[in-house]
Chains A and B, each alone.
Chain A
Amino acid sequence: MNTITLNIDGRAVEAMSGDTVLEASLALGVEIPTLCHMKGKLPTGSCRMCVVEVDGRHGLIPSCSQPAEDGMVVRTRSARVLEARRTIVELLLAAHPDDCLYCARSGDCTLQDLAIQHEVRGRKLPAPAEVHPLDISSPSIIRDPAKCVLCGKCVRVCEETMGIGAIDFTGRGSSTCIAPAFLDSLNASSCVHCGQCVQVCPTGALTEQDHLEQVWEALVDPELTVAVQHAPSVSVSIAELFGLPAGQDETGRLNAALRLAGFDIVCDTAFAADLTVMEEAAELVTRIRENGPLPMFTSCSPGWVKLVEQEYPELIEHISSCRSPQQMMGSVLKRLHAPEQGIDSAKLFSVAIMPCTAKKFEAERPEMCADGLPDVDAVLTTRELARLLNRLGIRLDAVKAEEPDHLLNLHSGAGKIFGTSGGVMTAALRTAAWMLTGKEHEAPALEAVEGHEGLSRATVEISGKEIGVAVASGTQAARRLIQEMKAGLHPDLQFIEVMTCPGGCISGGGQPRAQDPEVLRSRMLALRGLDKAAGLRQSHNNPDLQELYRRHLDHPGSKTSHHLLHTSYRDRGAERKQSA
């Protein structure tokens, strides 16, 4: 890498060769606006917001794709550049609904920011916006193509990052839109509900299915007892939405804030994660003892489960039958805790706060119901939670930390690291080793980091027995692993953790919008720190959990456990064929 010098707005700027003009300008303190730029991905150059003037070049040049060259003379703030940028914003606004104040993204919208930045005042252009139907078919994601600026970021994460490709550009000219194949609705597509598209969408074109109103109605309904659980990765990211630094654990203040908001029962999903570990480790031990079917895949990431159901039905029997922590918590609350407390299960409204949009889909699965009552009634993303607290004027940064409710109180460090890639594996191995040997084991920390392209494998020795394990961080990595396995590689694999989103729940589709890898990393470190600092680090040593088994479940894998904590899957490919 050489250092080069170019001239930007009359100043000499040093840059590394290979830097784009956009990057070089940042060094000068000039932030060039852009809609379609994605850090770390090849530029598509589609929005043209980032155009600059370059001496000797005809037309305006997109700074996101133009490599900085030695001696290059660039103008980022000429009248010509500014006229072009403002015109582009005007063109977008002309094709956009005028309902900003009613939009879910109002105040958090790149297009709105650009309109403010370029001071567009009024419509001067005659052509009206195209009419596109709203797609509310998905249990997780609302698609409003009328608000889409066609930056293509969603298409890119869906295809390049997730390897799903549920949506793409279709049509031509001004009727171009982004949609599932054949203009189907999202629920009929291969979408796994991960919500990464919602994460990157700069406008209100992609938002989560909003459960906030349902939750609010439950909170103000005097007939209902409202229980809430919050996932480990929510506690390390919610702070960001209250102006606090990233990577801060707010479990205690979250408990307090939720009680202030009117929730009657407040618990930490990490408790249910411990429960999942017990059941899953027991299942693994049984599969190993009874020879199969192996390898066993984790089941706590609903996007991954849907991917298997629609694309790899032959692997369905390899997925752990355990419900996810969210569903176990919901089930325990409604079927065990409520009766014990003298609460009518039908009058218990169970809310889960999750970093994830796919959890909304999971909660709605018919398999997750008993006696016509779903385990979980509503799922809020981290972003929706912040909106709820904001609506009630509750300042997370100002409340005092509190403990969650009794019984479903204690959790181990193992339960907390569920929220980050490799965590489920680590937690489950600690307990599986104990189950196999009766002794405590420090399982190797398996981290599927980007440098390994999301995939890591290891062999763990437990009392002379070798267990091949792998962690796939993201569906793309999981796909690669499955292909390798089908090609006959890795015959020794027995236990595989798969997280739908690269990095795990900390970078889930329901989290605060953050593309900065440093923010994601700080969330991960916060969870790992909680595990390291915990006195209680093994799920099986959680006394509350032991109490639960004593009182209700007997032992992991018992008949009651199976009824309340396990589930089954379906071959969606076959279902689709039948309906077609």
Chain B
Amino acid sequence: MKTTQVHCADPATFAHLREAASARSHAGKGLKVRVGTGTCGLSAGARACLDGLRERMPEADVRETGCIGLCSSEPMLDVQPPGKARLFFGRVQPDQLDRITAIARGTEQPSAAEVLFQQPGEVSEAWPGIPLMSEHPFFKHQQRQVLLGCGTLDPGSLDEALEAGGWAALADLLASGRQQDLCERVEQAGLRGRGGGGFPTGRKWRFARDTESTETCLICNADEGDPGAFMDRALIEGDPHRLLEGMAIAAFAIGARETWIYIRAEYPLAIKRLEDAIVQAKAAGLIGDKVLGSSFSFDVHIKQGAGAFVCGEETALIQSIEGRRGMPRPRPPYPASRGLFGHPTIINNVETLANLPTLLGMGEQAFSAQGTEGSKGTKIFALSGKVERTGLVEVVMGKPVSLIVNEIGGGVPDGRKLKAIQIGGPSGGCIPADHLDLPVDYESLKNFGAMIGSGGLVVMDEETCMVDVARFFMEFIQRESCGKCIPCREGTKQLKAILDSICTGRRNEQGAEALDRIQGVMQIERLARVIQDTSLCGLGQSAPNPVLSTLKWFREEYEAHIFARRCPARVCTDLLVYTIAEDACNGCTACARICPTGAISGERKSVHAIDQERCTGCGECLRICRKHAVEVN
């Protein structure tokens, strides 16, 4: 173990920094407007809101902020006249901007129908008749402590971050000089990796800290690649200083001077915000040589990944930073003993690092009091799919799935029935609707055959075909497999082909094809077992999970596809049988005219019929029939 003499920081240095920041922000204009310009907001039209409000209110301080989490209400913005509570508007259209301007200036009064909610501060006056953010069903059950700054702070302003308490945990740490027990404190707090594996963070750090190397490296893994996961992006876009502070804390703990953020190039806004934040933090002496006057020095490099899913795997990520093709390598040696450029390397996920300021701020006892026996603190989920309110959700570990889906998310829209949720992305599994009381923590999900993964949570309703879901993930894994090890490269291809054969090809199936299909089906479980058992990296080892999990809970749906050649959810078009109900058809000929294969025949004003041999199952007849005479099964 390295013994390093820590020269402590003078607490006054940081206090001055913070006071100056505070003075600068209070010298600003009275009326504040914040527009959510995360990637989600921008794609929903936030740019027009931002420009429009700046033009309309030159007197106001119109700032950008990150995503507050309620994606389904983007673009979102809030106005805050001096002394008043923040008043939030959602799904803002350009024609609302005049009205919003008038409300902000106090010339018109808001009505509950046009605003989302308000968020009063300690000394601000509430708007009458407007619901509070803390009572809004989306936010009521959340514990937003890591996402705290997202949607509140201007990500481009170090001053705002400092004023909100950013960098304070690091400053306290450097002032105390307590480096030696930092790993143990984080271990006691029970913080586990948020990137999927769930390895205890403090214990991981100790491996690197306890080596003799003086060139230990820290990497932040921001290569978020799971379909439907966007926690890391939102965190970085909304509060980049939190991540940088977390990196500084981790670097201090393990004795790393050089640190990297490996982030996918598809996140240009997050990269921009990080770059800006690094420049500001360097100028303020928070990154660089002798941070805050202490003996601790560290630097941050940004490395953009080219978007290979597998580069989220530690050893592939290291290869990629080194300039090689991102392919995992066998462990041992583990990165903590031999990683980037041969140096001991710790790789932590964005959310893990972003937890550190909170953890140190509240203390390890308080942190470990949150959550369950084995899973402490909060977890951020990206809630998407067939759910009323989609977005980013931060809840204390151990809450039931139903709380996230039904309370926070508002359940499945349009009166349809919930079928299952898929959690953990391509490595995860599904939880059927009748198990929604399952607590969301590492152990419970693992025991159930799913996993937290990085935190993607996709809600599926009765119109979702579970075989098709498995097929989607297998297609994804197959495309993203690095191609190095045989079971993952070839095994997932075969699994995908078997699922394809189940979901397609009812029409004109020749005798031997049916036998081949059944023979393929009989290989599913063996293939899945061998892929899990022998794949080189986590991507491969977990690749069969979506198949095994859907097969476990929705076996009858598989059987319907395989034996009855039917898709109960009516998703797999090849398996659908279209017929025309005699009593409903009025012989308008619309279906016969639109049918691309000429499969429909019938005289005008008499009942039509579909020739099943010629029908391709495209569904055009169903869509065009005004009498709802076309039935599908």
Contact = CB atoms under 8 A, between A and B. Distances in A.
A94 B490 CA distance: 8
Chain A at the B interface: SS class: loop
Contacts of B484: 44, 46, 150, 152, 169, 176
B325 interface: yes
Interface in B517-536: 517, 519-520, 522-523, 526-527, 529-530, 532-536
B385 to A, nearest CB: 25
Contact of A88 (B330, B496, B522, B530): B530
A94 B492 CA distance: 13
A70 interface: no
A46 B483 CA distance: 9
A449 to B, nearest CB: 27
A65 interface: yes
Contacts of B523: 124-125
B308 interface: yes
Nearest to B526: A87
Interface string B472-487: 0000001111111111
Given A43-B330, A45-B330, A174-B489, A127 B483 contact: no
B332 A171 contact: no
B541 interface: yes
A49 B490 CA distance: 14
Interface in A135-189: 149-150, 152, 168-169, 171-176
Contacts of B533: 51, 59-60, 80, 84
A125 B520 contact: yes
Nearest to B530: A87
Interface string B51-90: 0000000000000000000000000000000000000000
A92 interface: yes
Contacts of A173: 478-481, 483, 489, 492-493
Interface string A489-500: 000000000000
A83 interface: yes
The SS class assigned to the B binding surface is helix
A92 B533 CA distance: 17
B252 to A, nearest CB: 32
A172 B519 contact: no
B325 A169 contact: yes
A254 interface: no
Contacts of A92: 486, 490
Contacts of B482: 172, 176
A433 B58 CA distance: 92
B491 interface: yes
A193 to B, nearest CB: 24
B329 interface: yes
A355 to B, nearest CB: 32
Interface in A104-132: 124-127
Interface in B282-310: 308
Question: Which of A65, A66, A91 has its CB near the most chain B CB atoms (within 10 A)?
Answer: A91
B494 interface: yes
Contacts of B490: 91-92, 94-95, 174
Contacts of B481: 172-174, 176
Contacts of B493: 95, 127, 173-174
Nearest to B536: A45
Contact of B483 (A48, A66, A91, A172): A172
A67 interface: yes
B169 interface: no
A74 to B, nearest CB: 15
Interface residues of A, number: 38
Contacts of B329: 44-45
B494 A127 contact: yes
Interface string A49-83: 10100000001101001110000000000001001
Contacts of A127: 493-494, 496-497
A48 B232 CA distance: 33
Given A172-B479, A173-B480, A173-B489, A67 B332 contact: yes
A66 B334 CA distance: 12
B540 to A, nearest CB: 9
A197 interface: no
B327 interface: yes
A125 B498 CA distance: 8
A47 interface: yes
B324 to A, nearest CB: 9
B449 to A, nearest CB: 15
B322 interface: no
B487 A48 contact: yes
Contacts of B519: 124, 126
A41 to B, nearest CB: 13
A339 B493 CA distance: 63
B486 A44 contact: no
B278 to A, nearest CB: 31
A38 to B, nearest CB: 14
A386 B625 CA distance: 75
B492 to A, nearest CB: 8
Contacts of B496: 127
Contacts of B492: 173-174
Given A94-B490, A173-B479, A59 B534 contact: yes
B476 to A, nearest CB: 10
B325 A168 contact: yes
A116 B60 CA distance: 79
A59 B530 contact: no
B475 to A, nearest CB: 9
Contacts of A84: 487, 530, 533-534
Given A169-B325, A171-B483, A126 B530 contact: no
A12 B483 CA distance: 37
B489 A150 contact: yes
Which of A45, A51, A169 is the most central at the interface, judged by chain B CB atoms within 10 Å of its CB?
A45
B494 A45 contact: no
B501 interface: yes
Contacts of B520: 124-126
A176 B325 CA distance: 12
B556 interface: no
Interface string A396-438: 0000000000000000000000000000000000000000000
Nearest to A171: B483
A48 B486 contact: yes
B534 A45 contact: no
Contacts of A48: 485-487, 534-536
A91 B534 contact: no
Contacts of B522: 124
Contacts of A80: 533
Given A49-B486, A88-B487, 4 more contacts: A84-B530, A91-B486, A95-B490, A125-B523
Interface of A: 43-49, 51, 59-60, 62, 65-67, 80, 83-84, 87-88, 91-92, 94-95, 124-127, 149-150, 152, 168-169, 171-176
Top-4 shortest CB links A-B: A176-B483, A45-B330, A127-B497, A91-B490
23 contacts: A45-B329, A46-B484, A47-B485, A47-B486, A48-B534, A62-B330, A65-B332, A83-B530, A84-B487, A84-B534, A87-B487, A91-B494, A94-B490, A94-B494, A125-B497, A126-B497, A126-B519, A127-B493, A127-B494, A150-B483, A150-B484, A174-B493, A176-B481
